[in-house]
Amino acid sequence: MEQSILPEIKKAAKKSLKARDGELASINKQMEILNGGIFADGELPYFKDKIAEIGHHPLRPNKLEILQINVGYMCNQVCEHCHVDAGPDRKEIMTRETMELCLEVIRNTGAHTLDLTGGAPEMNPNFRWFVEEAAKAGIKDFIVRSNLTIIRANKKYYDLPEFFKKHNVHVVSSMPHYTRGKTDKQRGDGVFDKSIKALQELNAVGYGMPNSDLRLDLVYNPSGAFLPGDQMAMERDFKKALDEDFGIQFHNLFAITNLPISRFLDYLIASDNYEDYMYALVEAYNPAAVANVMCTNTISVSWDGWLYDCDFNQMLDLKVASKVKHIKDYNEDLLNDRNIVISQHCYGCTAGAGSSCQGTVA
């Protein structure tokens, strides 16, 4: 089934759902799917009932450690599984004024990790300024989620490895597979070769080398309607293949589960895999993963300054359940005293060994 439908999906995925006016560009439609059907029928339990069994409902945050800022939905790629629905046609970009508000929060809060994401965060015209200012503001661990190909997309990005090095940025890069076929199938033709070149350039300035402080981690996510395998075993396979074939070194591999939202939800429905996938997520539910899901120590900020429990909730426009909803009104005490907004997509974070932007959590 997956094989026969994929070419059609891939062709359609040259534009974001928003640009092609796809039905699932509507967040209401996505929520209707996630809350209805097999869950409303009682075939599968709601996530809230599942976590109530172990006393975790309502889900509450721990101490804020990570500020994850989405600086815009523009991207040079249009990956089939993208939960952001990013692409070259997306124009939502964080302004310098909103970045100033984020810097103010960084100066005044306990967030020690800044996690910049997108889209391709490097495409925001104020990206470099923001990195420099955030470094001055005292961020200790500075993560940039790079799709790698941006480094080779245009001359103006060629020096990104040096720029990252200068600011000791921790580079977390998407790399769905160590083979050309699987990577290009998910992310587009030519992505594998550009990613390899970018990784070699990052290695050349010291990123990912054994004993190097310049952290280079890769992110794997499945290319179809299945859950990731064992993270350690995959890391070994990636390390062996990338070293043998291309002389590439990196530190860790994070295995991330695709959450059933946005373009991945669209893919699941178009390929008739939605119900099977939700069954697989619920069957793989691991209560031990609940306590450490990403939203327990992270606040996500959207390009226009709204606050969310995580990047996935941002894409579903599920704003934080707090009096404070925008970065301009940021108040850590009030935010810490909130219930995390959950729905059935959250099963993606608690399946198997769990899943977060940093890979497994249990």
Interface with ligand SF4 (CB under 6 A): 75, 77-79, 82, 84, 86-87, 118-120, 147, 174, 187, 293-295, 309-310, 312-313, 340, 342, 345-346, 349
CB of 298 to ligand SF4, least distance (A): 7
CB of 358 to ligand SF4, least distance (A): 11
In 107-230 the beta strands, taken as DSSP E runs, fall at 113-117, 141-146, 170-174, 216-220
CB of 346 to ligand SF4, least distance (A): 3
CA distance 231 to 176: 13
CB of 147 to ligand SF4, least distance (A): 4
Instruction: Please name the helix (run of DSSP H) or strand (run of DSSP E) that holds residue 51, with its range, or none.
Output: helix 47-52
CB of 317 to ligand SF4, least distance (A): 13
Nearer to ligand SF4, 174 or 249 (CB): 174
User: CB of 344 within 8 A of CB of 246?
Assistant: no
Nearer to ligand SF4, 57 or 170 (CB): 57
For 218-248, the three-class secondary structure string (H helix, E strand, C coil) is EEECCCCCCCCCCHHHHHHHHHHHHHHHHCC
Nearer to ligand SF4, 139 or 349 (CB): 349
Instruction: Please name the helix (run of DSSP H) or strand (run of DSSP E) that holds residue 275, with its range, or none.
Output: helix 274-283
Structure tokens at 211: 């004993």
Contacting residues for 243 by C-beta, under 8 A, at least 6 apart = 249
Nearer to ligand SF4, 174 or 360 (CB): 174
User: CB of 300 within 8 A of CB of 308?
Assistant: yes
CB of 136 to ligand SF4, least distance (A): 27
Nearer to ligand SF4, 145 or 239 (CB): 145
Nearer to ligand SF4, 79 or 327 (CB): 79
Tell me if residue 197 falls in helix, strand or coil: helix
